[in-house]
Amino acid sequence: MLPQSYPNYKTVHHRFQHWCRHEVLRDILTDAANGLREPRDIDEPECFIDAVFASAKGGGAEIGPIKCGKGVKITGIVDRHGLPLSVSTHAANHYEVTLVQLSFDFYMIEAKPQNLIGEGVRQ
């Protein structure tokens, strides 16, 4: 359901997949996030992390079996103002501490938080 001013959905999807393969969106978001660090619009010393489980009955390459079926964990890290600094998805059969470490692979700014606050997370 794209606006009519956009190209055909297949063209948009193809371009999006190309950008994902070549990490174009990641580079744009990383540059934008690091640009916000200069005027101190990002408050990275203290960040918050949370994760949510999403059922994935159809399966897929990154889907992990768990007690109640198959699913993924979507993990996000935000600064104290709620600005997203990392969003990642991984198989739900990983331990929580592993997901925390994996979420830093998708961290968009150079400086890591001094304090990472989450439910049951200590760093």
pLDDT at 62 exceeding the cut of 70: no
**3 within a domain of the structure (yes/no):** no
Query: What is the span of the domain harbouring residue 59?
Result: 9-117
pTM for the structure as a whole: 0.61
Closest CA to 74 of 45, 103, 48: 103
Amino acid, res. 116: L
Exposed e or buried b for every residue in 14-26, given b needs 16+ CB within 10 A? eeeeeeeeeeeee
- Taking the C-alpha atoms of residue 88 and residue 103, their distance in angstroms, rounded to an integer, is 6
Rounded to 5 degrees, what are φ and ψ at 75?
-115, 135
Give the residue, 2 or 70, on which the prediction is more confident: 2
Q: How many domains would you assign to the chain?
A: 1
**21 within a domain of the structure (yes/no):** yes
Amino acid, res. 45: P
Give the mean pLDDT of the chain. 78
pLDDT at 11 exceeding the cut of 90: yes
Q: Which region, left, alpha or beta, applies to residue 40 given φ > 0 means left and ψ of -120 to 50 means alpha?
A: left
pLDDT at 61: 58
**Is the Cβ–Cβ distance between 109 and 40 less than 8 Å?**
no
Q: What is the mean pLDDT of residues 15-20?
A: 88
Give the residue, 78 or 35, on which the prediction is more confident: 78
